[in-house]
Amino acid sequence: MCLFCKIANNEIPSEIILENDDFIAFHDINPKAPVHILAIPKLHVDSFNELTPDIMSKMTSFIQNVAAEVNIKESGYRIITNVGDNGGQEVNHLHFHVLGGAKLKWGHFADSDPKSFL
Ligand code: 5GP
Ligand code: ZN
């Protein structure tokens, strides 16, 4: 069973923000913003590549409720899901990072000169 399946099963403790039959949201152990929450389906899904529209549609309102729960819905936040090797995915159980609580930085995501992307 993968790490986040164990968290979803309460076999590994986490600081839970919100939970329902299908999803759970908990604090990231290594926060990158004042608010850094991970929202996951309880069902194991490897990554966004395997996510079905049915689960995604339910996740939409779940993540909106998470943002409301931690009072960042109006001040603003960012949702990120890293996919695969180039995306920097380290845990192979789909998770959406929900980041907020301060003005977030925005910058280049690759080491190469951005002009070389054109
Ligand atoms: P990824 O790099 O796969 O997009 O993100 C994985 C995230 O999971 C990282 O931000 C990391 O800090 C977080 N993480 C890894 N292990 C644990 C853990 O055991 N508990 C919690 N709450 N977060 C974890
Ligand atoms: Zn899993």
From the CA of 48, the nearest ligand is 1
Q: Which two tokens stand for residue 23?
A: 């999803």
- For a substitution probing ligand 1, which of 91, 97, 109 has the most ligand atoms within 8 Å of its CB? 91
Positions marked catalytic: 95
Pairing type for strands 77-80 and 23-27 reads unpaired
Q: What is the pLDDT of residue 1?
A: 94
Residue of 79, 90, 94, 98 to mutate, ligand 1, most atoms within 8 A of C-beta: 90
Give the range among 15-19, 33-37, 91-95, 111-115 with minimum mean pLDDT: 111-115
Q: Tabulate helix, strand, coil % of the chain (nearest 5).
A: 30, 20, 50
pLDDT (mean) for 23-32:
98
At residue 116, the pLDDT reads: 84
On the question of pLDDT at 109 being above 80, the answer is yes
Atom of ligand 1 nearest to the CA of 92: 3
CATH number of 3-117: 3.30.428.10
Give me the percent of the chain exceeding a pLDDT of 90: 90
